[in-house]
Structure 1
Amino acid sequence: MATYYSYEERTYIGNGLIWLAEFNSEAPMIHIGDCTKLTLGIKTNSIKTPQNMTGGGGNLNNTTRISEATVSITAKEVQSQTLALALWGHAMKGVGGTVTGDPVTLLRGGLNRVGRTGMSNVQITDNQGVLVDAASYEVRSGGIYLPPSADPSTDTPIVATMAYKYPPMDTIEALTNTGKEYHLLFEGLNEAKSGKPFVVDVWRTSFAPTTGLDLITDKATELPLVGEALVDFSKPPGESRYFRAEQVM
């Protein structure tokens, strides 16, 4: 007797959130921001054994092995934690504050990288205790700009102290971490099925540094992240040691 299997149409149009936590960490997962792509791939390596018993060629056997399981993400936001991951670095959250008596040496004819990013309420006092006229310099996000004087040959460094306020900011230190591994969770939904959940866990993921961080662009920056799903030997037999997908029917 023939066996008939039930059929249910399962078109998939996916959206969702990507969460990351360090592998084997008890810390909560961090949302990496809006992404336009999440792709899981499986690459294989075929070992072919040609047959030589008859003419015409062909293979006696074809053994296929998995060479790697890949993870590819395109992030649309520059969240600090995502940047740190992409740059193999770490992110630090800082609070704003006030600085007084910051010693600086200023040169005319360019930008002096002094103070703190985004500083305001700047006052510069020379080494004689005289307040420098604010009209003689420009406070920029990257420091203090002093225009060239009428006779640059007479210029001497200005030894001074600065007082200023600076805003809260995140600092990302690049290339300070290597080989970090993450548990990746895709908290997805299937728009073609009224938003029913489609959830994927990638148990152990390692990302390479990003191949490109566009800092000057005429459109929203995309941050490509490419990694690999590595084996997680803590999973018991019968469960995937790489990733698991669950969809609500």
Structure 2
Amino acid sequence: MAVELIKQTYRPSLNVGQVYAAPYGAAGAAPMPIGNVLELDLEHEEDVQTQEDMTRLGGGIHAEVRRVKAVKFKAKLVDLNVVNLTRAVLGTAQAVAGASVVDEPHVAARGGLLRVAHIQPTAVTLKKGATASSATAVTPAGNFEVRPEGVFVFPEAADILDGDLLWLSYTYGGYASIEALTTKAVELALTFGGLNEADSGKPVVVDVFRCSQGVTKSLAMLGKNFGALDVGGSVLMDPTRQGAGLSRYYKMSFV
């Protein structure tokens, strides 16, 4: 069967499938699916050196040496989950447990936002006064509105003036927080488990043994289209793979 496969000529390719990633060199770390990936490409960059043929008229090439200068990978990720986002912005992720906040201090600016320390506040109470202990409650009606990002003070707030000292108490649920550009590019081992739709759904598996993922080219926060992370990086040599005929970069297997 393997011999017949090697001799096969007809093999169009149109793949779908899952992409898995694991930290490179992490013993026992299982490759985990990263979600829907619209594009996954490996690109080769060559260094070509030529020697001109000077022996006769008309020129041409007498000798040529080609070497692969670099192998790059690029991917378009459309599941903007915590892991993908953290890697794409070279960030540090933190799971913040829900809790309560009492008398968080703010200074009023009518028509402006009181950006609270935690997102999606609930059970909000607002007081104003020189100190938290002496402050008096302010009702929401005609004064403010609670939003996921904080408390918006109406421009025409009846009981709040610019410069008033405000004290916010609220509760919040658990959420994820990512501090961007706080770490170096991550090194990953990638596996693509594909199915070739143009050839009866036959499996295609590609293993990239070691690659360095760079920061995303852009991070769209507002737009008419679905968000996506365009990421890429370099396929690096994996020194742990030794032996004649073994690639230290990537391997393709298919039926």
Cα deviation for residue 166 of structure 1 reads 1.5
In structure 2, how many angstroms separate the alpha carbons of the residues matched to 1:115 and 1:54? Answer: 78
SS in structure 2 at match of 1:83: helix
Residue 149 of structure 1, CA deviation: 4.3
Distance between the aligned counterparts of 1:244 and 1:216, measured in 2? 39
1:214 aligned onto 2:229: no
**SS of alignment partner, residue 116 of structure 1:** coil
Alignment match of 1:185 (pick from 191, 216, 230):
191
For residues 197-231 of structure 1, the C-alpha deviation after alignment (integer angstroms, 9 at most, x for no partner) is: 21111111112211111111111112111111011
1:29 is aligned to: 31
Q: How many residues align?
A: 243
Looking at structure 2, the residues matched to 109 and 212 of structure 1 have their Cα atoms a distance apart, in angstroms, of: 31
The corresponding residue for 2:209 is: 203
RMSD of the TM alignment (CA)?
Answer: 2.2
| Letter aligned with residue 150 of structure 2 | G
Cα distance in 2 between the residues matched to 1:18 and 1:92: 24
1:80 aligned partner: 82
Moved over 4 A (4+): none
Partner residue in 2 for 1:106: 108
- Give me the whole-angstrom Cα distance separating, in 2, the residues matched to 1:31 and 1:65: 33
Deviation at 1:93, TM superposition (A): 2.5
1:26-175 correspondence runs (5 A): 26=27, 27-127=29-129, 128-135=134-141, 136-149=143-156, 155-175=161-181
Q: Deviations over 1:156-203 (max 9, x none)?
A: 423232221213222111101113211111122222344332111111
Gaps of 5+ in 1: none
| 1:241 and 2:252 are equivalent in the alignment | no
Measured in 2, the distance between the counterparts of 1:150 and 1:162 equals: 16
Q: Is the 8 A contact 2:105 2:168 kept in 1?
A: yes
Q: Which moved more, 1:48-57 or 1:87-96?
A: 87-96
Percent of residue pairs bearing the same amino acid type: 28
